[in-house]
Structure 1
Amino acid sequence: MKLNSTVLLTLILLTLMLGAGSVSAILGFDIGSKALKGVTTPDARPATKFASSKANSMQHGGVTLLREEEILKVVKSRIEGKSKASKLDKSQDDEEEEKAKKEKEVEKAKEAQEKPQPGFPISAESQGVNLAVQSAQISGGDLVLKVKMQNKGTDTAQFLYSFLDVTDDKGRTLSASTEGLPTELPSNSPVFSGTISIPTPLLEDVKRVSLVLTDYPAQKMHLEVANIPVGK
């Protein structure tokens, strides 16, 4: 009887010990899990670290690294752009310089044309119509007389230049051709310009020539420009 009570007491003590151990283990596991919550294992792989650090730097700094080829392309394009701009500026400067040069040449030519030849103009007037010889110069195998005509009268004047009479200082008739002279001069007309050309072989011993022009068909006007010096 005494032995049975001892065995029973031993079994009860073992059960209590096992129960207490289980409870302690469960409580310890729960406390440890809560304590280690949020703790991660370090990543020992270099590639992963590099990728992670690169991602972090891109997120925080926004720095982008260019390859050497791209840098060289950018530098080359900028140099070429500056070179083209320089060439364009130089071309524009050359064009402006050439334009200014041409304008000066035109001005000089105008001044030469406007400057009267010594002894000129020689003019004649009849019934309001004026005929003036501005100059006489040898050009291209001809004696070229530059002529201006104007009608200040109230009636229209008509001319036929085949009736133009050209004579030398010995009274000989010379052949001549006209260019640019009007066949009709209206009343109060502007100034018209043209030329009368005489072949130089006809002027070997000639010092002066004279012009006589009449209107056609009325022939009321008599425009005579005499003693025009022949420049040689």
Structure 2
Amino acid sequence: MRLNSTVLLTLTLLTLMLGAGSVSAFWGFTLGSAALKGVTAPDSRPTSKFTSSKTSNNPNGAVTFLKEEEILKIVKARIEGKTKAAKSDKKDEEEEIEENKPEISQETPEAEVEEKPQAGFPINSESEGVSFAVQSARYSGGALQLRVKMQNKSVDTVRFLYSFLDVTDDKGRTLSASTEGLPAELPANSSTFSGTVSIPTALLDDVNRISLSLTDYPAQKLKLQVSNVPVEKQ
């Protein structure tokens, strides 16, 4: 009797468990279906968009491909168009530059324009066919700038070391000077060379005139001397 009661109780529990599981499964399915209403699976075909766009223009739904010749023609046309546009822009820029460029008088070439002669200049010295001339003396940038020209009309090349350039004032004092642009060597029958001799203004406070003396190196045969160069401040 006890055995029958146990079996019956067991069967009853199993039936209740199965029933509860079925109800739970049904209820879960119902909730899931309600939550997924209106949701569709994404189109996994990568060519579907291209196909749809082409079929919209093609009533037969067939995909049309461009020929290689047509593709090359299109690319060539685009490249030529960009090249022409770039050339046109460059041409416009060049024309604008030409229009804005200041006009230079054709009567006097720019290379031939020289500074106006200064009163009392040039002061020349010549030795053995070599000439040394002071063209002007002007104060600029904290120094006296002596504009100098040199020329060798002899048949021999002449060399100079400008550390041998002696500059003295009217009181016999030696002045410090630097050179710029003067050649270290004058070829035979040379053209004219120009340069600058600079003397600090601080050394010329009470000086009215100076003298310059230069010789060649290493022979020291020449004696180029320019005296009484006026350096009074205006």
TM-score under structure 1 normalisation? Answer: 0.55
1:4 maps to none
Unaligned runs of 5+ in 1: 1-83
Correspondence for 1:126 = 127
Provide the C-alpha distance between the structure 1 equivalents of 2:109 and 2:210, rounded to a whole number of angstroms.
30
Q: Is the 8 A contact 2:207 2:232 kept in 1?
A: no
> Within 2, Cα distance between the matches of 1:219 and 1:207?
29
Task: Write the distance in 2 (CA, Å) between the matches of 1:173 and 1:136.
Answer: 18
Higher share of residues assigned helix:
1
* Structure 1 residues 136 and 112: alpha-carbon distance in aligned structure 2, compared to 1, 3 A threshold: farther
CA distance 1:111–1:138, shift in 2 (3 Å): farther
Aligned twin of 2:183: 182
Give the match for residue 139 of structure 2: 138
Specify which of 99, 102, 107 is matched with residue 100 of structure 1: 102
Contact 1:164 1:211 in 2 (8 A): yes
Whether the 8 Å CA contact 2:165–2:213 is kept in 1: the answer is: yes
Amino acid at match of 1:213: L
Q: Distance in 2 between matches of 1:110 and 1:193?
A: 14
**Contact 1:136 1:143 (8 Å CA) reproduced:** yes
The answer to whether residue 230 in structure 2 is matched with residue 229 in structure 1 is yes
Measured in 2, the distance between the counterparts of 1:162 and 1:171 equals: 18
Whether the 8 Å CA contact 1:142–1:199 is kept in 2: the answer is yes
Query: Could you report, residue by residue, the CA deviation over 1:24-46 in whole angstroms, capped at 9, with x for unpaired residues?
Result: xxxxxxxxxxxxxxxxxxxxxxx
Residue in 2 that maps onto 1:148: 149
* 1:100 positional shift: 2.3
Distance 2:185 2:152 in 1: 10
**Residue 214 of structure 1: CA displacement?**
0.5
Aligned residues, how many? 144
Alignment match, 1:200: 201
1:95 offset after TM fit, Å? Answer: 3.8
SS of alignment partner, residue 114 of structure 2: helix
What is the CA–CA distance in structure 2 between the aligned matches of 1:192 and 1:134, rounded to whole Å?
12
Equivalent-residue separation in structure 2 for 1:131 and 1:218 (angstroms): 18
Asked whether the 8 Å contact 1:136–1:231 carries over to 2, the reply is no
- Name the structure 2 match of 1:115: 116
What RMSD over aligned residues (CA atoms) do the two structures have, in Å? 2.7
Asked if the contact 1:137–1:231 (Cα under 8 Å) also holds between the matched residues in 2, the reply is: no
How far did 1:112 drift? 7.0
Instruction: List structure 1 runs of 4+ shifted beyond 6 angstroms.
Output: 107-112
Larger radius of gyration: 1
Inter-CA distance 126–139: structure 2 relative to 1 (3 Å threshold): same
String of CA shifts for 1:89-119, please: whole Å, max 9, x gaps.
9x94x64454225x36xx7987873321111
* Inter-partner Cα distance in structure 2 for 1:127 and 1:110: 30
Report the residue type matching 1:207 in the other structure.
N
Query: Following the alignment from structure 1 to structure 2, what is the Cα–Cα distance between the partners of residues 204 and 112?
Result: 33
The aligned amino acid for 1:129 is: V
The answer to whether structure 1 residue 157 and structure 2 residue 161 are counterparts is: no
Identity percentage of aligned residues: 65
Q: CA offsets, 1:110-164, max 9 Å, x none?
A: 7873321111111100000000111111111010001110000111111110010
Give the whole-Å Cα distance in 2 for the aligned partners of 1:122 and 1:216.
Answer: 23
Task: Evaluate the alpha carbon distance shift between residue 137 and residue 97 of structure 1 in structure 2; reply closer, same or farther with a 3 A threshold.
Answer: farther
Q: Distance in 2 between matches of 1:200 and 1:194?
A: 19
